[in-house]
Amino acid sequence: MTLLASYHIFVKEFVSEFRTRYALNALLMFVVTTLSIILFSIGHDSPTQEILSGTLWIVIFFSAMSGLSRTFVAEEERGTSLTLRLLTNSTSVYSGKLIYNFILILALSIIIAIAYLLLIKEFSVKTYSIFWLTIFLGSAGLASASTILAAIIAKANTKGTLFPVLAFPILLPLLLTCINATKLSVDGAFFSEAIKEFQILISFAIVMVTTSLLVFDFVWKD
């Protein structure tokens, strides 16, 4: 029952997004803008791989912030949150939104990563398995923490600026680990060397989703 309901929530998110394509278009433009700023500022210099793996995650983090903050704000603005509250339980709302956010941010990160690899010559990944697994697990972590925070800020007064402020300290262990793992992939480390990073990323996502499931009810029913 919950599974079916969360699937329906997911489909609803997807359909309502594709009707307007607001978030998708805005996000793609955001990615293009930030990437071109990075390209302009690099110019003819050749920055180190460490700096480049850092900037990759800066782009992913801020595009995730601007994309995912609207998850629940849109419900409040359109006044559809009451209907959702009547029709289904909070767990399925959370899991539906989480899966939608995860797929959105994963697609976005993959686009950013491909664009980054193509546009910046100095950034050459040697171990692709580490690189893509980091992108995958990093997106999972970003989505897991952002969904509950988006639910919190939807109830606050100043919605726009609050999201990155709340999210940054919570996502920092994730981002640092992701940057570390990306450095490993650039340095050409073996897959087994990055196991520790992946363990942290997986446990972060699991801890976040579990806690969110426990507390989401309070935020949603408030």
**Smallest distance from other proteins to CB 17, Å:** 25
219 within 8 A of 148, measured Cβ to Cβ: yes
Nearer to other proteins among residue 110 and residue 162 (C-beta): 162
Instruction: Find out whether 219 and 152 touch, Cβ atoms under 8 Å.
Output: yes
| Residue among 5 and 215 whose Cβ is closer to other proteins | 215
| Comparison of 117 and 215: residue with beta carbon closer to other proteins | 215
Q: What is the DSSP letter of 47?
A: -
- Contact yes or no for 91/100 (Cβ under 8 A): no
**Position of tokens 């426990």?**
214
- Measured from the CB atom, the residue of 22 and 218 that comes closer to other proteins is 218
CB-based burial label for 14 (10 Å; 0-12, 13-18, 19+):
middle
Among 134, 161, 146, which residue's Cα sits nearest to residue 56? 134
Q: Which residues bind other proteins (CB under 8 A)?
A: 145, 148-149, 152, 155-158, 162, 165-166, 168-170, 172-173, 176-177, 180, 196-197, 200, 204, 207-208, 211-212, 215, 218-219, 222
Question: Tokens representing 120?
Answer: 């910046």
DSSP state of 89: -
Based on CB atoms, which residue is closest to other proteins, 12 or 155?
155
The three-state secondary structure class of 8 is helix
